[in-house]
Amino acid sequence: MSEKPKKKSGSIAIPFLITIFVGLLLIGGTAFGIYKHLNSKKDDKPKEPTPRNGITSATPEDSHTILLILNDPEGQKASATFVLMRSIPYKKQLLFIGIPSNSIFYSEKEGAQVALKDTFERNGAKSAVSFVEDVLNIKVDKYMSFDPDAFLRVCDIFGGVTYPVDINFTGFTDDSSLQTMGPDDIRKYLTYNNFKGGEAERSFKAASVLSYMVNGSDGDRIAGNFDRYFSEIINKLGVAGTDISGSDYDKRKNAIKYMFNYGQSIAIAITIDGENAGIDFIPDSNFVNNIPEDYFKDATVK
């Protein structure tokens, strides 16, 4: 009788050892991966997002006040337009205050009644600054007096405006619906001299249009290109058009960029309360007395 062939023990053992070895590798690799993952959570903190433009804050010291003047003798026979801009970067806020050009007050210096448009036409922007300081009892830091060319460029930089137009002029209806105005349309609107409320209404419209224009712009784009825009506008204004220097700008440019980068709907508009008296506008004393407290807490009160 023939013997059955014996099974070779090696033929079973080798596959078994290989299976164990592969299993250990898999288990070991998984364990190492888990350990590495848990360890990385302890050691690695999420990276902070890089601040836009590297600017992360502003302070009350960055606040400033500028008298904006649109001097457009070629416009629709209106007087110069005056808007006081209060910039409060740390609050991410711009306040535009329309000042009627026919505002009057009694000047102790001159011993007579003085009108804003008259003092500007006789003595220029610096005298208009002094007028506003005396009437509102606040410190105005600088002025910018825009001729049509410079003003149109500012409107172009901000991209025009979508605004509730309420007068009838070429291409627009007077139904107070939101309508888009380009730079030249804005110029015509702000120099319109037949608003029902006279210069008081026109000054508020000027402040309001500026606030709409700022709020409707791309803040990141404005901040990212602000150095170039500033240089361009200052060159257009020239020495006679502003007393803002390069060093003035350097002190506050980061705060302004911060405001545009991080603010949303940063601009608001108001006008001075008061009453028309013939061809003049008399500012309300209560409103004037409250302005420094309400809007200029960070400013130097005269």
Q: Indicate whether 270 pLDDT > 60.
A: yes
Q: Indicate whether 257 pLDDT > 50.
A: yes
Query: How high is the pLDDT of residue 36?
Result: 46
Query: How high is the pLDDT of residue 40?
Result: 47
What mean pLDDT do residues 42-63 have?
Answer: 64
Q: Indicate whether 210 pLDDT > 70.
A: yes
What is the tens place of the pLDDT at every residue in 106-119? 888 778 899 999 99
Query: How high is the pLDDT of residue 42?
Result: 45
- Ordered by where they begin, the domains of the chain are 60-295 (3.40.630.190)
Matching residue, tokens 């210096």:
109
Q: Indicate whether 152 pLDDT > 90.
A: yes
Which pLDDT band, with edges at 50, 70 and 90, does 58 fall under?
very high
* Sheet of strand 93-99: strand arrangement: 142-146, 64-70, 81-88, 93-99, 267-271
The rounded radius of gyration (Å) of the Cα atoms in the chain is: 33
pTM, entire model: 0.80
Instruction: Decide which of 298 and 288 is more confident.
Output: 288
Query: How high is the pLDDT of residue 111?
Result: 85
Three-state DSSP string of 178-239:
EEEECHHHHHHHHCCCCCCCHHHHHHHHHHHHHHHHHHCCCHHHHHHCHHHHHHHHHHHHHH
Which pLDDT band, with edges at 50, 70 and 90, does 171 fall under?
confident
Under a CB-based contact definition with an 8 Å cutoff, are residues 255 and 92 in contact?
A: no
Under a CB-based contact definition with an 8 Å cutoff, are residues 198 and 274 in contact?
A: no
Query: How high is the pLDDT of residue 246?
Result: 92
Q: Indicate whether 6 pLDDT > 70.
A: no
Query: How high is the pLDDT of residue 54?
Result: 60
Tell me the C-alpha distance between 77 and 216, whole Å.
29
Percent of the chain topping pLDDT 70: 79
Q: Indicate whether 75 pLDDT > 80.
A: no
What mean pLDDT do residues 213-225 have?
Answer: 96
Query: How high is the pLDDT of residue 109?
Result: 79
